[in-house]
C-alpha cells in the first residue's frame, strides 16, 4: 500500500513535459489525474522512477470546435466533459459516457487522456473513442503523430504510445445530420468500471436506412474493441427491432472474453449482446 520511491516533477508546459520524459523514457511516467496510476503504484504494479505531472498545464485542458472537428485536450476531466454544453449538443455520447464513470471525486480528477492512455479493459472512454472513430494526437521528442483509435488500443493496459510520448489531444469529426448516439453500461457495483459497456454512433439517411454505424465495446475482453459484425449487420438496413436484435447477437463475435470472480466470460458476452441491442435502439430513437 506504499509506493516504491520515486521523483516528482511538475511540468508547466507540454514542451517541458516532453523534455522531462526524454531524460528517462522507460523510467518516467506521466501523471494526470492519478486515479489509475497512484493506485497501481501503491500496489507496486507500477514503479516509475520519475512522475512528470501534466495536470497543471493549462493549455492541455479544453473542449472546442474547429471547422468540422471537435477537439478535446488530454487533461480535460471527466466532469468537464460531462458538463460541456457544446458536447451535449454536438456529440452527446461523450457527456453520457462521462456521467457513467466512477463517482464525483473520480470524475473531478480523472482525465480523458489518462483513461485512454491507461487502456484499462473496463475503462469507459476507449469504447467511446472507438465508436466515434477518434484520432489521438501524441507528442514525443521525435515530434507529433496522429493515431486512429482503431490502432491505439493494443492489449491489456497497452497502447500504441511509445515511451516518452504524451497523448495531447483527442480529435473527433462533428457528427452529420441524422446522427444518433448512446452509451449503455453495466457498472461494477463497487467501482463503477464497466462489466460491459457499449458505445454506439450511427447515422440514418433521409429514408431512415442506416448509412453508417460504429460500435465500441469495453469490459468484455482484454482491451476495448470495435464490434465489426454488428456494424456490418446494420449497414443499409432499416433499423427495426428484428434487425437490431439480429445485429446485436454479433457483439461477442471473435472475442476472447475475460472471466473473473465477478463475471464469467460467457456472462460478459451475454451482457454485451443485450446492451448492444439497447444502445442501438436508443441511438436509433435519438437519430434525426
Ligand X SMILES: Cc1cc2nc3c(=O)[nH]c(=O)nc-3n(C[C@H](O)[C@H](O)[C@H](O)COP(=O)(O)OP(=O)(O)OC[C@H]3O[C@@H](n4cnc5c(N)ncnc54)[C@H](O)[C@@H]3O)c2cc1C
Interface with ligand X includes 180 (CB under 6 A)?
no
Is-contact 188 166, C-beta < 8 A?
no
DSSP string of 208-264, one letter each residue: SBEEEEEEEEESSSSS-EE-HHHHHHHTTSB--HHHHHHHHTTTTTT------SS--
- Buried-state track 41-54, b at ≥16 Cβ within 10 A, e below 16: beeeebebebbbbb
Distance CA 244, CA 251 (A): 11
CB proximity list for 288: less than 8 A, separation 6 or greater: 178, 180, 204
Least CB distance from residue 125 to ligand X, whole Å? 6
Q: Which residue of 80, 82, 96, 124 would you call a contact of ligand X, by CB under 6 A?
A: 124
- φ/ψ bin of 197: left (φ > 0), alpha (ψ from -120 to 50), beta (otherwise): beta
Q: Which residue of 3, 27, 34, 178 would you call a contact of ligand X, by CB under 6 A?
A: 34
Q: Which of residues 146-165 bind ligand X (CB under 6 A)?
A: 161
Angle at 156 between CA 153 and CA 162, to 5 degrees: 55
Q: Which residue of 73, 114, 216, 252 would you call a contact of ligand X, by CB under 6 A?
A: 114
Interface with ligand X includes 191 (CB under 6 A)?
yes
Least CB distance from residue 229 to ligand X, whole Å? 25
Q: Which residue of 92, 95, 113, 180 would you call a contact of ligand X, by CB under 6 A?
A: 113
Least CB distance from residue 49 to ligand X, whole Å? 13
User: What is the end-to-end Cα distance of the chain in Å, rounded?
Assistant: 51
| Smaller CB separation from ligand X, 123 or 180 | 123
Interface with ligand X includes 17 (CB under 6 A)?
no
Of 31-39, 80-88, 147-155, 237-245: span binding ligand X (CB under 6 A): 31-39
Grid cell digits, residue 105: 471525486
Q: Which residue of 33, 95, 175, 257 would you call a contact of ligand X, by CB under 6 A?
A: 33
- Phi, psi values for residue 187, rounded to 5°: -85, 145
| Smaller CB separation from ligand X, 104 or 206 | 104
Q: How many chain residues interact with ligand X (CB under 6 A)?
A: 31
Task: Give the contact letters, 64-103, x = binds to ligand X (CB under 6 A), - = no.
Answer: ----------x--------------------------xx-
The residues that touch ligand X, with contacts defined as CB under 6 A, are 29-37, 39, 74, 101-102, 106, 110-111, 113-115, 117-118, 120, 123-125, 161, 166-167, 191-193
Amino acid at each position: 500500500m506504499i509506493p516504491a520511491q520515486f521523483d516528482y516533477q511538475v511540468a508547466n508546459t507540454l514542451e517541458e513535459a516532453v523534455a522531462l520524459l526524454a531524460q528517462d523514457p522507460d523510467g518516467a511516467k506521466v501523471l494526470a489525474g492519478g486515479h489509475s496510476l497512484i493506485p497501481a503504484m501503491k500496489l507496486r504494479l507500477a514503479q516509475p522512477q520519475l512522475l512528470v505531472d501534466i495536470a497543471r498545464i493549462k493549455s492541455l485542458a479544453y473542449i472546442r470546435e474547429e471547422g468540422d472537428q471537435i477537439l478535446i485536450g488530454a487533461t480535460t476531466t471527466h466532469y468537464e466533459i460531462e458538463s460541456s454544453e457544446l458536447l451535449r449538443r454536438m456529440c452527446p455520447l461523450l457527456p453520457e459516457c462521462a456521467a457513467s464513470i466512477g463517482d464525483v471525486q473520480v470524475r473531478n480528477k480523472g482525465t480523458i487522456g489518462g483513461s485512454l492512455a491507461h487502456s484499462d479493459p473496463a475503462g469507459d472512454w476507449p469504447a467511446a473513442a472507438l465508436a466515434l472513430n477518434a484520432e489521438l494526437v501524441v507528442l514525443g521528442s521525435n515530434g507529433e503523430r496522429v493515431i486512429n483509435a482503431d490502432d491505439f488500443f493494443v492489449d491489456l493496459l497497452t497502447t500504441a504510445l511509445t515511451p516518452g510520448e504524451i497523448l495531447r489531444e483527442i480529435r473527433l469529426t462533428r457528427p452529420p445530420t441524422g446522427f444518433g448516439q448512446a452509451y449503455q453500461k453495466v457498472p461494477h457495483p463497487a467501482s463503477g468500471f464497466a462489466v460491459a459497456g457499449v458505445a454506439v454512433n450511427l447515422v440514418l439517411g433521409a429514408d431512415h436506412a442506416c448509412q453508417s454505424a460504429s460500435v465500441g465495446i469495453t469490459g468484455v475482453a482484454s482491451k476495448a474493441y470495435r464490434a465489426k459484425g454488428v456494424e456490418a449487420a446494420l449497414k443499409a438496413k432499416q433499423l427495426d427491432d428484428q434487425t437490431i436484435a439480429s445485429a446485436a447477437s454479433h457483439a461477442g463475435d471473435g472475442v476472447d472474453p475475460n472471466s473473473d470472480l465477478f463475471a464469467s466470460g460467457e456472462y460478459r458476452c451475454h451482457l454485451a449482446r443485450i446492451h448492444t441491442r439497447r444502445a442501438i435502439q436508443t441511438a436509433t430513437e435519438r437519430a434525426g
